[in-house]
Amino acid sequence: MSEQDTLGDALPREMARVRDEVMPAYIAIGPPGQFALHMMRMDLVTAAVAIADGDIAKMIICYNSLKGYST
């Protein structure tokens, strides 16, 4: 998140990165990637609920969690 970004901008962008870039790599490796995929899906759902609820604290937690995923 840059100085100009808001959490409302950065979190959806991070959700898209995980969904569109990271998850396909874990899907491609098959069964060994299933646990990580489950965790990513849970974080994405939690982030969507936090956004819908306007829960800033949970949004920050989700943002930081999603930032931890990489290929």
pLDDT of residue 5: 87
Please give the Cα distance from 35 to 59 (Å, whole number). Answer: 22
Domain that residue 55 falls in = 7-67
pLDDT of residue 2: 61
- Residue 2 inside a domain? The answer is no
- Residue 14 inside a domain? The answer is yes
Please give the Cα distance from 26 to 21 (Å, whole number). Answer: 10
pLDDT of residue 4: 80
Calculate the alpha carbon distances from 9 to 14, 16, 21, 49, 51 in Å.
9, 11, 18, 16, 11
Taking the chain (71 residues) in runs of 10, the rounded mean pLDDT of each run is: 83 98 97 96 98 97 97 90
pLDDT of residue 13: 97
How many domains would you assign to the chain?
A: 1
- Is 47 within 8 Å of 66 (Cβ atoms)? yes
